C-alpha cells in the first residue's frame, strides 16, 4: 500500500484561482489515493468551491490566510509581503515537515526566492536549477536550467546533469537517463570554455546513473535520442520560450488553415484522428509543472495560465517524485 503523500498547495496563485486549483485537486484526487492536500489560501473563497467536490474531508485541510503574493510583484516585494501569504505558508509547511512537497501556480520569481530563503540546499550543490518536461518523438525529456541561473560554472552544469537524471528516473523509472549538453554544435571544439570543460569532465567522470551523450543542438532536442538536456539558465530559458512560441505558432496557423475554406474544413474532418493526436502531443497541460531542484525538498511551479487539467498534472508530478524518492536519488549521486 502506498504511503500517504502530503502536498502543500498554494491555492491563490495564477489565473482563475482558487477555482482552478480546487478543480485540479478534485481531478487529481479522483485518479489517486493516499494523498493529503494542505491547502493554503482564503477560506472564504475556497470553501464555496470545495464543498461541492467529491474530495473526502479527511483528505485535505484549509489553512486560512487572506494575504497573497500578486503576479506583478517583484521577488523583493513578494518577500516583503511577509510570512502570512499563502505562498510563504505553503513553503514553510515543507520546511517544518508538515508537507512533503509544495506546488504553486503563482509568481515564479517570488516562489524561487521564498523557497531559497526557507529551504536548505542539498549538501555539495551550489545552485538550484529550474527544470521542466518537454515532449519529444520518443516520450518526454527533462530540460534544465530554465532560468534560475543566468551564469553557471562547469560544476553547476555537472550538478544539473545529476539532478536532471535523478528527476528523470523518478518520473520515468522504466527508462534510462541519457544526458546531453545544449550547445551551438555537436563537435567537441564548439561552445564556450565552460561548456567544453563540462564536456571533458562528464566524459572522464562516468556515472552509473546516466549515460553521457555529449553535445546536442537546439534543433535536435525533440528527437528523443537524449532525455536529459542541460544548459545554463540563460540558454535554457531562451530555448524554452522559443519552443513555446513555435508550438503556439504552429497550432494557430494550422487552425487558421483548416478553417479558411470549405476544403480546409473538409480536410480537417477526414483527418480528425491524426489532428487530435497532434493536438495532444503539443498540449502544454500534459507536461505542466516546472521543478526547482537542489533544495532539500522539491518545489513545483505550475504555469500561471494553465487550467485545472494542467494543475492536476502538476499534482501528479508532485506525487511521482515524492513516491520515487527524488531527493534521496540526488543525495546518493552528488559527490
CATH number, domain 1-125+294-335: 3.40.718.10
Average pLDDT for 216-222? 89
Residue ranges, comma separated, of all CATH 3.40.718.10 domains in the chain are 1-125+294-335, 133-283
- For position 257, what pLDDT does the model report? 65
Query: How, if at all, do strands 101-104 and 5-10 pair?
Result: parallel
- Alpha-carbon distance of 290 to 311, in angstroms, equals 11
Q: Band of the pLDDT at 80, cuts 50, 70, 90?
A: confident
CATH architecture under which domain 133-283 falls:
3-Layer(aba) Sandwich (3.40)
**Residues in the chain, how many?**
335
248 pLDDT band (50/70/90 cuts)? confident
In a 3-state reduction of DSSP, which class is residue 333? helix
Query: Could you read off the pLDDT of 174-204 as tens digits, one per residue?
Result: 889 999 999 998 887 788 899 999 999 998 8
- Averaged pLDDT of the chain: 87
CB 101 within 8 A of CB 321: yes
Q: Could you give the residue ranges of the DSSP H alpha helices within 139-283?
A: 154-171, 193-205, 233-259, 262-270, 272-282
Write down the pLDDT at residue 270. Answer: 53
Averaged over 111-124, what is the pLDDT?
Answer: 91
pLDDT tens digits, residue range 303-317? 888 899 999 999 999
User: How far apart (Å, rounded) are the C-alpha atoms in residues 94 and 119?
Assistant: 8
Amino acid at each position: 500500500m502506498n504511503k500517504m503523500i502530503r502536498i502543500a498547495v498554494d491555492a491563490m496563485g495564477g489565473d482563475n484561482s482558487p477555482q482552478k486549483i480546487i478543480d485540479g485537486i478534485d481531478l487529481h484526487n479522483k485518479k489517486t489515493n493516499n494523498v493529503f492536500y494542505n491547502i493554503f489560501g482564503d477560506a472564504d473563497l475556497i470553501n464555496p468551491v470545495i464543498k461541492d467536490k467529491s474530495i473526502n474531508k479527511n483528505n485535505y485541510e484549509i489553512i486560512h490566510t487572506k494575504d497573497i503574493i500578486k503576479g506583478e510583484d517583484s521577488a523583493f516585494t513578494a518577500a516583503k509581503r511577509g510570512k502570512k501569504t499563502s505562498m510563504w505558508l505553503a513553503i514553510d509547511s515543507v520546511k517544518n515537515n508538515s508537507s512533503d512537497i509544495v506546488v504553486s501556480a503563482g509568481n515564479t520569481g517570488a516562489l524561487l526566492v521564498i523557497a531559497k530563503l526557507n529551504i536548505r540546499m542539498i549538501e555539495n550543490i551550489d545552485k538550484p536549477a529550474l527544470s521542466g518536461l518537454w515532449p519529444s518523438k520518443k516520450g518526454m525529456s527533462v530540460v534544465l536550467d530554465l532560468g534560475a541561473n543566468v551564469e553557471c560554472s562547469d560544476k553547476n552544469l555537472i550538478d544539473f546533469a545529476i539532478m536532471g537524471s535523478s528527476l528523470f528516473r523518478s518520473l520515468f523509472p522504466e527508462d534510462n537517463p541519457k544526458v546531453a549538453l545544449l550547445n551551438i554544435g555537436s563537435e567537441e571544439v564548439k561552445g564556450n570554455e565552460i561548456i567544453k570543460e563540462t564536456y571533458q569532465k562528464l566524459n572522464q567522470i562516468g556515472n552509473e546513473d546516466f549515460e553521457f551523450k555529449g553535445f546536442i543542438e537546439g534543433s535536435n532536442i525533440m528527437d528523443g535520442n537524449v532525455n536529459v538536456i542541460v544548459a545554463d539558465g540563460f540558454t535554457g530559458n531562451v530555448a524554452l520560450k522559443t519552443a513555446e512560441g513555435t508550438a503556439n505558432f504552429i497550432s494557430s496557423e494550422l487552425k487558421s488553415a483548416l478553417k479558411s475554406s470549405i476544403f480546409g474544413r473538409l480536410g480537417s474532418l477526414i483527418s480528425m484522428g491524426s489532428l487530435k493526436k497532434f493536438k495532444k502531443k503539443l498540449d502544454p497541460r500534459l507536461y505542466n509543472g516546472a521543478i526547482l531542484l537542489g533544495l532539500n525538498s522539491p518545489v513545483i511551479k505550475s504555469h500561471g495560465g494553465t487550467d485545472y487539467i494542467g494543475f492536476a498534472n502538476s499534482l501528479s508530478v508532485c506525487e511521482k517524485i515524492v513516491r520515487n524518492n527524488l531527493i534521496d536519488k540526488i543525495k546518493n549521486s552528488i559527490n
